Structure 1
Amino acid sequence: MTAPAPAEVLRIEGLTVSLKATGQPTVADLSLAVRAGETLCVVGESGSGKSVTSLAVMGLLDPAALAVTAGRITVDGEDVLAASPEQLRRMRATRMSMVFQEPMTALNPVETVGAQVEEVLKVHGIGDAAARRRQVLEMFASVHLPNPERIHASYPHQLSGGQRQRIVISMALILRPKLLIADEPTTALDVTTQRQILLLIRELQERFGTAVLFITHDFGVVSEIADRIVVMNRGRMVEIGSRDDVLARPSQSYTRMLVASVPSLVPPERAPGGGSEVLTVAGLAKSYGQTRGLGGILRRKAGVAALHPTDMRLARGEILGIVGESGSGKTTLARCIMRLVPPSSGSIRLDGTEIAGLSNAALRPHRRRLQIVFQDPFRSLNARMRVRDLIAEGPLNFGVSREAAYARAGELLERVGLSREMLGRFPHQFSGGQRQRIAIARALALEPDVLVADESVSALDVSVQSQVLALLRGICDESGVGILFITHDLRVAAQICDRIAVMRRGEVVETGTAAAVLAAPTHPYTRELIAAAPGRGWNFAEFRAEPQAAAL
């Protein structure tokens, strides 16, 4: 006899969520179901309605902005939309839980993580203080946290990104809910930590029979964990099917476009280029000293080496990728080169000029030649300034007339694929990809010799990511600017970088052309990183076809 199908844990029927101000739907007529033990991945570009759907299921929609105007949502047989606030509170954590993208914002920074997880048990009236503590410690052990007693007493800032995400997963699963919603839980993690978190979710899912609704834009992750896939576009479901059907045989042109946008681990053929050396780093190191109080006197302990003596070179018109896990020293290296932090020792020569030991006043004329694009443009762009002023601010600080600076701002906005008509807008009026383009335009306004891109595409969905990568490559080829491209995503590094330097524990362990490092790595750590990259067995590039062919 055929075994009965697992029970449905989540069912969404004809869900429509609309903006209260305009009545425009952000999710329209969505229907899907997730069974016990199943992982359903929801994919789509930013603004497709993925997160709105998850918030509707949890009963967390902003009542001032959004409202469910049609449809039905049931979790473990209970109607979410008809539930009272008290019923919803009971359902959360016991029947449904959610893991958010950024654990640092999901956790209280001034309370120990153990107390925060215990609070879930306390709110639901489970056990006394001692019993709650034991249960949390057991959960920490289940998610493979080292030394659960120490972790229990730690604050969020004392833990790594992967450890914080394990805490959030512990909080979500402590009461063994029937449904786990994971909203981009691995986006900001390096490949090895990402792999550990994915394996952990699968392990806990199999142990508890949890249904998982996994929201992501990373098709590599989807290929690793999905049982079925839902593709959303502009609030509507455009395709649903098994993992193999959607990834290997997509029926819709939109799905084909998304799959084709996934970067490959195989670098494209690129003619050797690069001009004269624009940046030369020799013996660059950074240690952070620690102090302790003793009898009212501060005494310095041995420093912690965040960056060991490092040699590096960058040519004009070249993109050098810096890859490695969190804590490998990538960002410390970039900050030392940018002189955002003073190096402890070593040399930084910018087009032949030594800048490592310059004072802030002496360094100021050279600042314009070193520019940086950060990971999160919404944080790096002043929300109170219009785009024209954001881009023109640098040139104005260096004596360019306002008229010339504004004219240059318009040219740069068009260069990054936006319209001059947008110069009067504020950052919040743009999408994430558009804001990153504005950040790139701002960095280019001072015509730098070296541009540092620090995880500048990691938070973007695959189609926007592809566009920004093409933009950076085009700027590099046209202007001759040298780019230091910092990333934890080997697929992205493969597609844009001429050379790659692999960092581990503050040291460069391997360097070479992108093709050589990724195709024939010599260091065991590099091989470990490549092996951890999700979706290595899938050839996403085969769908890079013309729209007409893709629509067939």
Structure 2
Amino acid sequence: MTAQPVLRIENLSVALVGSPDGSARKVVQDIGLDVFAGETVCVVGESGSGKSVTSFAVMGLLAADALKPVAGRILLDGEDILQCSPERLRTLRATRMSMVFQEPMTALNPVRTVGWQIEEVLRAHSKLDAAERRRRTLEMLASVHLPDIERIYRSYPHQLSGGQRQRVVICMALVLKPRLLIADEPTTALDVTTQKQVLALIQELQRSNDTAVLFITHDFGVVSDIADRVVVMNRGRVVETGSRDAILARPVEPYTRMLVSSVPSLVPGAKNRIEGGEVLQVKALGKTYSERGFFKSGRTVHAAAEVSFTLRKKEILGIVGESGSGKSTVARCIARLIAPSSGSVKIAGTEIAQASRAQLHPLRQRIQIVFQDPYRSLNARMRVGDSITEGMRNFGASTAEANARAVELLNVVGLDADAMKRYPHQFSGGQRQRICIARALALKPEILIADEAVSALDVSVQAQVLQLLEDIRAKTDIAVLFITHDLRVAAQICDTIVVMKSGRIVEAADAESVLTKPGHEYTRQLIDAAPGRHWDFRNFQALAA
């Protein structure tokens, strides 16, 4: 490391603009950290801790009508970013510092080709001619290990996978070889194998360009794999800073210890034997899509094929696999959000695979689903109480009965009755997911499907929601079909694990057998790709490889 850091933040405070009482409420206060050339500093903390506000302040991307730096300095190679004019900031972005965002689809223009968008950076910040820009762009696409770079160059964002889109965003961020790269949760929505590839890519490009990396994340598995140093934030302040090993193995502050101990282990705990009767039987389930063109028949895609398993009362069965493996397709077929192309789906002996809409209506209350994004799952214009009671009222419950049941369910998920009168935006992400679980339980279903229900949550909130599902399972006979790409979460909560690849089941057994003695090569690849697999976070010690 050089004597002078690439990035130095000194006593940074950021306040809300236009507080009703005229005071400047600080959302980030007295932040200080350094990032040196070739170093990766991970900033961790729960939602609302100030991680992203800090990174946006560095990039000069804070909304001027909402947030304003009120104290401190942000030095990029000794130059104070907070004193720069808008024109100077625009020059510094991409040339000296750049950012990779969490969701590549929102970072890319859907109506421009990938090649055009990467070249836009070069058009704005270099004097290269068209031929040289194209050559440089293709060179960057090759450097991030994308296949068939000429095709990728001509493609639109929607024609690429999530992992490919994130690689394109990384190309845009690094095409001018900036001194500082800020990565804001760039792998949160990716499956473990794609995540491993993207992390390895960032490290490879970092080594070749001696780039300083500020990595924002809530995934301690990622921290254990890539961090040189770790900065822990809570409620807008830095609470602890140290080397990776010091923070993960010897955390000092209670808040840090709570975060680290909330990370699920990859080793499943002891499970009780499931002896309940079968509530779901899936046999030879298949779902086929046909892509059609104007002048030719398109290809046939088998999203799911010959999928068979059973689910018992009180059992939590996990379906794991990469994006595109067919996990969510199977879940949606079982919930009859889409119709299967073939096969059988029986709920307690009742066939629903080919049931008509009229036949499905009375069966809807027997199976409910909780989706990944709770904010999109709730109607922003409806009070929480109305969202929870709507299903009950549709099935004949009186308003009084529905309201009483809703209050009872809110207590079950750890919220009070006052939540009935509030709107979704007035709750945190974890609270919104609790509301979605309460709504799903309102009709007393026999089967609950959780489709990536905790993947976007902080580790501490994730632990709370997982414990909530365990408590609900213990108090009722409900069976849970748990869809996830996170093997740590599957190890924590699942009794049985089904592994899917390319629409088919490649392995199915109890959780301990699958995760400790995998029988299929693909399962072994998933486990090997899991970030931080050599760490037992709960015992604050590194495990032997």
- TM class, shorter-length: over 0.9
Q: Which whole-Å CA distance do the structure 1 matches of 2:222 and 2:209 have between them? A: 22
Alignment-derived partner of residue 181 in structure 2: 180
Q: Which whole-Å CA distance do the structure 1 matches of 2:253 and 2:508 have between them? A: 41
Matches within 5 A, 1:369-448: 369-448=366-445
- Cα offsets for 1:206-230 (capped at 9, x unmatched): 0011000000000000000000000
Match of 1:14 among 11, 14, 24: 11
State the secondary structure of the residue aligned to 2:82. coil
Match of 1:332 among 322, 329, 348: 329
Where does structure 2 lack aligned partners over 5 or more consecutive residues? none
State the secondary structure of the residue aligned to 1:447. coil
1:459 aligns with 2:460: no
Which letter does structure 2 place at the counterpart of 1:127? Answer: L
- Cα offsets for 1:407-432 (capped at 9, x unmatched): 11111111101111111111111111
Alignment-derived partner of residue 292 in structure 1: 293
Alignment-derived partner of residue 259 in structure 1: 260
Q: Which whole-Å CA distance do the structure 2 matches of 1:369 and 1:405 have between them? A: 17
Alignment-derived partner of residue 237 in structure 1: 238
Q: Which whole-Å CA distance do the structure 1 matches of 2:509 and 2:306 have between them? A: 18
Contact 1:178 1:210 in 2 (8 A): yes
1:30 to partner: Cα distance: 0.6
Q: Which whole-Å CA distance do the structure 1 matches of 2:298 and 2:422 have between them? A: 50
State the secondary structure of the residue aligned to 2:284. strand
1:293 to partner: Cα distance: 2.4
Which letter does structure 2 place at the counterpart of 1:445? Answer: A
Q: Which whole-Å CA distance do the structure 2 matches of 1:443 and 1:386 have between them? A: 16
State the secondary structure of the residue aligned to 2:47. coil
- Cα offsets for 1:486-520 (capped at 9, x unmatched): 00000000000000000011110001111111111
Q: Which whole-Å CA distance do the structure 1 matches of 2:325 and 2:436 have between them? A: 25
State the secondary structure of the residue aligned to 2:287. strand
Distance 1:309 1:259, change over 3 A: same
Match of 2:357 among 349, 356, 360: 360
State the secondary structure of the residue aligned to 1:327. coil
State the secondary structure of the residue aligned to 2:294. strand
Which letter does structure 1 place at the counterpart of 2:439? Answer: R
Alignment-derived partner of residue 503 in structure 1: 500
1:62 aligns with 2:59: no
Contact 1:278 1:482 in 2 (8 A): yes
Which letter does structure 2 place at the counterpart of 1:285? Answer: G
Q: Which whole-Å CA distance do the structure 2 matches of 1:72 and 1:7 have between them? A: 15
Contact 1:257 1:543 in 2 (8 A): no
State the secondary structure of the residue aligned to 1:144. coil
Where does structure 1 lack aligned partners over 5 or more consecutive residues? 545-552
State the secondary structure of the residue aligned to 1:471. helix
Which letter does structure 2 place at the counterpart of 1:515? Answer: E
1:35 aligns with 2:32: no
Contact 1:112 1:153 in 2 (8 A): yes
Match of 1:349 among 346, 349, 362: 346
Distance 1:362 1:237, change over 3 A: same
1:253 to partner: Cα distance: 1.1
Q: Which whole-Å CA distance do the structure 2 matches of 1:270 and 1:227 have between them? A: 36
1:528 aligns with 2:529: no
State the secondary structure of the residue aligned to 1:293. coil
Matches within 5 A, 1:156-195: 156-195=157-196
Contact 1:126 1:132 in 2 (8 A): no
Contact 2:248 2:540 in 1 (8 A): no
Which letter does structure 2 place at the counterpart of 1:263? Answer: P
1:52 aligns with 2:53: yes
Q: Which moved more, 1:497-506 or 1:16-25?
A: 16-25
Contact 2:2 2:37 in 1 (8 A): no
1:301 to partner: Cα distance: 4.2
Matches within 5 A, 1:116-265: 116-265=117-266
State the secondary structure of the residue aligned to 1:71. strand
1:519 aligns with 2:516: yes
1:368 to partner: Cα distance: 1.4
Match of 1:306 among 273, 298, 303: 303
Which letter does structure 1 place at the counterpart of 2:447? Answer: V
1:318 aligns with 2:319: no
Alignment-derived partner of residue 98 in structure 1: 99
State the secondary structure of the residue aligned to 1:28. strand
Q: Which whole-Å CA distance do the structure 2 matches of 1:7 and 1:503 have between them? A: 49
Q: Which moved more, 1:406-415 or 1:460-469?
A: 406-415
Contact 2:250 2:540 in 1 (8 A): no
Q: Which whole-Å CA distance do the structure 2 matches of 1:154 and 1:69 have between them? A: 43
Q: Which whole-Å CA distance do the structure 2 matches of 1:387 and 1:21 have between them? A: 29
State the secondary structure of the residue aligned to 1:313. strand
> What is the aligned residue count?
537
Matches within 5 A, 1:79-98: 79-98=80-99
TM-score by length of 1: 0.96
- Cα offsets for 1:431-482 (capped at 9, x unmatched): 1111111111111111111111011101111000000000011112211111
Q: Which whole-Å CA distance do the structure 1 matches of 2:398 and 2:109 have between them? A: 46
TM-score by length of 2: 0.97
Q: Which whole-Å CA distance do the structure 2 matches of 1:125 and 1:228 have between them? A: 34
Q: Which whole-Å CA distance do the structure 2 matches of 1:362 and 1:126 have between them? A: 66
Q: Which whole-Å CA distance do the structure 2 matches of 1:197 and 1:454 have between them? A: 24
Q: Which whole-Å CA distance do the structure 2 matches of 1:512 and 1:6 have between them? A: 54
Which letter does structure 2 place at the counterpart of 1:246? Answer: I
1:536 to partner: Cα distance: 1.2
Contact 1:191 1:532 in 2 (8 A): yes
Contact 1:186 1:197 in 2 (8 A): yes
- Name the % identity: 65
Q: Which whole-Å CA distance do the structure 1 matches of 2:50 and 2:394 have between them? A: 41
Q: Which moved more, 1:393-402 or 1:143-152?
A: 393-402
1:539 to partner: Cα distance: 1.5
1:321 to partner: Cα distance: 0.3
Which letter does structure 2 place at the counterpart of 1:173? Answer: L
